[in-house]
Structure formats: C-alpha cells, structure tokens
A and B are shown apart, each in its own frame.
Chain A
Amino acid sequence: MSTPNETRVEPASSGHVFEGGFADPVMDSQAVFRRVMNALAEPGTIADLAGFVSPPTPLSQATAAILLTLADYDTPVWFAKPENNDDAIGWMSFHTGAPRTADVFRASFAVLEKMSPVEAWSSFLIGTSDYPDRSTTLLLPVESLVGGEPLKLTGPGIETQTVIAPVGLPEGFVAVMAENRAAYPLGLDVLLVCGGEAIGLPRTTRIEEA
C-alpha cells in the first residue's frame, strides 16, 4: 500500500511526540466524532473540541482531535508545510498510524496553514461522478471563528440561513467555495479550525458575503 511518497515517520527524539493523545481513546474519539458530525450536519455551528489532546505545535487542539478521531492507516494525511511540522507529523503517526503523504492527490485529509493560498486547492481530490466521496477533507486554521466579516450560509443542515464571521480566511475563499459548491456533488469538505474549536463547511453549503 505504501508508496515512496508515503512515509510512516519514526518519531524523533522529542518526547512530546508520544504524549498528549486521548486519555481514553474509545470514549474521547466518540465524543469528538459526535461533535464533528454535528458540525458538518449543522454547518456554521461551532464545535467545542478543546481539552481532549495536547498536540505539539503548530497543531491546534481541534485539528489534532479531528485527526486522532478520523485518521488511520487507510487515510493518507497531507501537510502544507511538512518542514515546519516534524513533531506534528511524528505525533500524528504515533497516535493514529496514518501515513503522511507528499502527494496532494492521495490525501484523505489535508492539514493546511493559515491563509492557505486557495489557488492550490484545485489539486485536492474532489471525487469522481461515480464516487464523489473519494475526496479530500481540508482542515483550515483561521485566526478566530468569530468577530470577522459576516458570511451568510445556506443549504442542508441549516433551517433558513445562518451567519459565521471567522477572521483570517485566505484571499478568495468565498469565490473558491462558490466554485466548490458549483461542482456538487463533487467537491471538498472544509473544517475551519481555531484553537479547540471548529466549524464544518461541507460541500453543500452556499457561502455568501452578508
């Protein structure tokens, strides 16, 4: 299964790689999953994923909790800046067994950087018309999930409309998400993460500047 570009990293000497996983893997992953499930089923709601894990920097608690809940040897994970993520990749590999992939087109999950350039997102998997589920889920860190310019969300999971106001979205985010929506049922699913919180933006959600 492993390709030359897929590596299970031998954790470096840093002790932090081994510490800070789920205290109770069964119950903690269930609790995190239900919150992530609700976040994607009700786009715009903020899921509280804090306090489950203590990951090495620069991983946020939310990103780390999502990876520990959903990633394993079946799901290659792509990091935007692997050179800055030695400890993070080692930590993820140790706790999940998930391979880090350098091939963007093999990624089940992509751990992005803040202000990730959206032009590069076209390389991620959006599925095929037969199997639209074979797509990449993006974990996009932002400065804050509240206090920014309001964005109006509509679509499945939202009764009429809801508003989010994250700070620190990449340039062109609304436009690229509109293209993503237009490709439905193909597309990327995005989780905005900040600290211990996350907002789910599945491909069905229409995002407009309010």
Chain B
Amino acid sequence: MTLPEYNFAYLDEQTKRMIRRAILKGIAIPGYQVPFASREMPMPYGWGTGGVQVTAAILGPDDVLKVIDQGADDTTNAVSIRAFFAKTANVATTTKTADATVIQTRHRIPEAPLSAGQVIVYQVPIPEPLRFLEPRETETRVMHGLEEYGLIHVKLYEDIAQHGHIATTYAYPVKVEDRYVMDPSPIPKFDNPKMNGSPALQLFGAGREKRIYALPPFTNVVSLDFEDHPFEVQKFKQPCALCNATGVYLDEVVTDDRGGRMYVCSDTDHCETRREEGHHGPGLPISGAQTVKEDAA
C-alpha cells in the first residue's frame, strides 16, 4: 500500500486559488494588505508560514527556488523551507541569486540586483506598520482608508527628539505609489532603497496575521523621512572581513570571549561568490581562502 501523497507544493487547490486571488488583488493595490484565510502549516507561526503559503501558491515545476534567512542560505529556517519545497513540489533549488526564479526571504534583500521575471517572497511577522501605534485593526483600517498617517510621522519625530536622529533601523516604514504606508518586513533599512523601482515582483506573506501584499515591478517606494532629517541607510566603517566587499550589509560575529569580533557579509551567496572570484578580506587567512575555494568547487 502506498501512503497518500501531498498535493503539489503541499497546499490543496482551493487554498491556492484563494491565495492566488489575494495576490492578484495585492498587485492591483500596491502596499494594501489583503486579508486571506491563512492555513495551519507544518511549522509554527513566526517561521515563515505566510511566505511559505505565498510561495506554495505561485510555485511551478519549472521554478528554481532560493530561500534565505537574514541573507544566509545555510541557516535552519532557510534549509528547512528549501527542503520542504524540494520534497513537496520537487522543484530545483539554488543558493545563487541570479539563478533563482523565486526567492523566499526572511529579513533581507539579496545584494545582487534582482532582475525582471524574478519573484521575491518576503516573510512578514507584523504586516501593519501602524500596529504598535494603534492596536485596533478596525482603527488602522480606517487610517489607511483615510490616508491618515500623521501618527507614524510623530513616531519618527519622537526618534529625533530622543536620539537626535531617526533611530528606526529595520522594518522602516515606506510609502507606496504615494498612497499606502507599508511595512517592508523587518529588513534592515539598508535594503529599503532596493525595493524602489525593482524590476522583480515583490510579494509579502504574513501567516499569523493573515495578510498578503505586493509591489509590482517598477513601483515607487519611498522611505518616510523629514526634509531636515532625510532617510539614510546604515554605513559600515570596514569592508567584509572575508570577501572585502564594501557597500553591503554586514553582520557582527563575535569570535572569542575577549571582545574579538569580525564583520562579514550577511548575504552568504554574495560573499561566497566574491571569494570564488578571488577577493580576500582582511580576516581571511590565505590558506583559509584556498580551503574555501576547494570546498566550493
């Protein structure tokens, strides 16, 4: 006797249809959070159930899937979700940004520019940018409906009053097509400019909160700011310790218990690609570099 099999990409067809309709509405109303009937998935809320449902609804047999968690292809969340779709949808997977047709991400946008035809699916914990300012969903709905966004500017202003600058560093709110204020998911604000005018289709899934939203390609996405306190992204004093890259987002890695630390690319694929191309950072011994090359070959 053979055991019953899951449907292609795990979800049943009626669920996929419901999610697909929500995605199309999201594309038609960029930045607006479309409610959807989020399902229980075989992983806890907070592990990317929204992103997984969106990916399952769009994925086809010819897709090549990349999954990243904070930029890394090799952390638990990324490995598990990649394996989940390799098993339930039998799709090809990759860690190379350029080779992927669908990229599911938790909290980063890859360093390599995305291209037309690619779809990036964000895992979103709290899709409502006004939620910590106004806990009632009925009220935030009305605020979006009336385009009443004064409160979020007050929040940014309070940052300036307390810290002298806008201290929000991730999930930095954006305005889409001069209409909806949107939570870009907890990506570092370093990645916000990559959302603006991206040639890729960007989809957002929040499983616990049961919301889907979208940015079609070439959509106008502006990070909120003030004339005298313009939006700025994080800057790093040193290059990546492994691949010497500048102008990328770096993670701090503690290396010992005596205050030693190094800063390395958060995007592991970008870092590996650069090292394969022969770039050496100050923290990478020459012998270590050769080992890395052999491992990758």
Contact = CB atoms under 8 A, between A and B. Distances in A.
Contacts of A25: 13
Given A40-B28, A75-B21, A129-B145, A26 B8 contact: yes
A70 interface: yes
Contact of B29 (A36, A72, A185): A185
Interface in B140-172: 141-142, 144-146
A156 B30 contact: yes
Contacts of B20: 33, 37, 69-70
Interface string A173-210: 00000000000110001000000000000111000000
A70 B17 contact: yes
B127 interface: no
B181 to A, nearest CB: 13
A37 to B, nearest CB: 6
Interface residues of B, number: 44
Contacts of B22: 133
B14 A72 contact: yes
Contacts of A120: none
Given A30-B59, A159-B199, A203 B17 contact: no
B60 A30 contact: yes
Nearest to B116: A42
A41 interface: yes
B279 interface: no
Interface string B25-36: 111111010110
Contacts of B92: none
Contacts of A72: 14, 17-18
B179 interface: yes
B94 interface: no
A41 B217 contact: yes
A1 interface: no
A12 interface: no
A121 B32 CA distance: 24
Nearest to A32: B20
Contacts of A71: 17
Contacts of A129: 142, 145-146
Given A74-B18, A202-B27, A204-B177, A157 B13 contact: no
A14 to B, nearest CB: 26
Contacts of A42: 216-217
B218 A157 contact: yes
A33 B54 CA distance: 13
B63 to A, nearest CB: 9
Nearest to B63: A34
Interface in A104-141: 108, 128-133, 135, 137
A155 to B, nearest CB: 8
A207 to B, nearest CB: 14
A189 B30 CA distance: 13
B24 interface: yes
Contact of A185 (B17, B179, B214): B179
Interface of A: 25-27, 29-31, 33-34, 36-38, 40-42, 69-72, 74-75, 108, 128-133, 135, 137, 156-159, 184-185, 189, 202-204
Closest 8 CB pairs of A and B: A129-B145, A202-B28, A157-B216, A133-B25, A156-B219, A130-B141, A41-B216, A156-B216
Given A27-B60, A30-B8, A70-B21, 4 more contacts: A26-B8, A74-B18, A159-B197, A185-B179
